[in-house]
Homo-oligomer: A and B are copies of this chain.
Amino acid sequence: MSSSTQFPPLKGDASLLLAYQLHSKRVLLIGGGPVAASRLTHALEADALVTLLCPSSGLCPELLYRLSDPWCKSRITYHDRPWLGTEDLDLDGGADMVLSATDDPGVSKSVCVAARSRRVPVNVADVPEECDFHFGSTIRDGPLQVLVSTGGRGPKVANLIRRRLERALPEKCGMAIDRVGELRRRLRARAPGREEGKKRMHWMVGICEAWELEDLAELEEGDIEVLLRDGWEKGKVLSPKDLGKVGKGKEKVDNGLNWRREGIAGLLGAVVGAAVVGLAVFVRSSR
């Protein structure tokens, strides 16, 4: 499409991956089955306010359970009736996002047309062409979230890939994010000036390059103090070693070689080899 030595060529046909913020936004959810329940979960975890539209006869056990839970209930406005038309977009102050999860193609179509007429982002389960966005396979570890998307092309393969990535994630990634956040906060408190912004950013990048995730996750209050006092103040980026730490991360990363394992195997081999030859000589000489 375009090429330059300086700027990378563009590859079209992608989705735009986003971390949508729904805090105190309103999501209109139409439907009552397991897919609707899964959508509700996603919306509530993102701190959305939810308007749920479904005749009570169509509510699945999970939705009934969520509606009986005090915390969930406080975030859900439930209407015991089906979708009636465009004016439902105005319910409870108006929808910022619309999720349809019904089996009725007529309802799906009507919901999609209504939402698009107002440019409100809409997802209709199982109907790609009626979706302004897709959900994918996700991982969550506290503040860390990972989305694996195949642009709706292969949900099962997305799950396979998600599982592979899950195994590769260090155990305490979420914790690492929290600790780095704390370091940044403390740095800002120590050097708050706007003119120091670039220097702060540079130093934080340096830390993230010198430390592996496993080590960042173990940053304690005292370590942060040392990093700032003996590092930042002296224009230095201290490493885990400088802080007398083993540096767990690095070892694990070096592309999977495991010298200790191979060393033991070699040693065992040597002993066996020696024993065999020794035995042969012994047997021979004692004949």
Q: Which residues of A contact B (CB under 8 A)?
A: 1-2, 4, 6-8, 10-22, 25, 41-48, 61-62, 65-66, 69-72, 94, 96, 118-121, 131-136, 138, 140, 143-154, 156-157, 159-161, 164-165, 167-170, 173, 176-177, 180-181, 184, 204-205, 208, 212-213, 216, 253, 256, 258, 261-263, 265-278, 281
Q: In this complex, what residue of B is CB-closest to A97?
A: B16
Least Cβ–Cβ distance between A22 and chain B, in angstroms:
5
> Are B157 and A213 closer than 8 Å at their CB atoms?
yes
Q: Which residues in B have their C-beta under 8 angstroms from that of A7?
A: 62, 65-66
Counting chain B CB atoms within 10 Å of each CB, the highest count among A14, A70, A72, A135 belongs to A14
Q: How long is the Cα–Cα vector from A44 to B146 in the complex, in angstroms?
A: 23
Q: How long is the Cα–Cα vector from A167 to B258 in the complex, in angstroms?
A: 17
Number of copies: 2
Least Cβ–Cβ distance between A264 and chain B, in angstroms:
8
> Are B147 and A146 closer than 8 Å at their CB atoms?
yes
> Are A19 and B15 closer than 8 Å at their CB atoms?
yes
Known: A14-B140, A161-B169. 11 other contacts (CB 8 A): A1-B71, A1-B72, A4-B65, A7-B62, A10-B44, A14-B45, A17-B146, A145-B151, A154-B184, A269-B272, A278-B281
Q: A148-B146, A270-B270 are in contact. Are A66 and B17 (CB under 8 A)?
A: no
Q: How long is the Cα–Cα vector from A12 to B72 in the complex, in angstroms?
A: 11
Q: How long is the Cα–Cα vector from A22 to B10 in the complex, in angstroms?
A: 15
Q: How long is the Cα–Cα vector from A41 to B139 in the complex, in angstroms?
A: 26
Per a CB cutoff under 8 Å, which of B2, B21, B71, B216 touches A15?
Answer: B21
Q: Which residues in B have their C-beta under 8 angstroms from that of A148?
A: 144-146
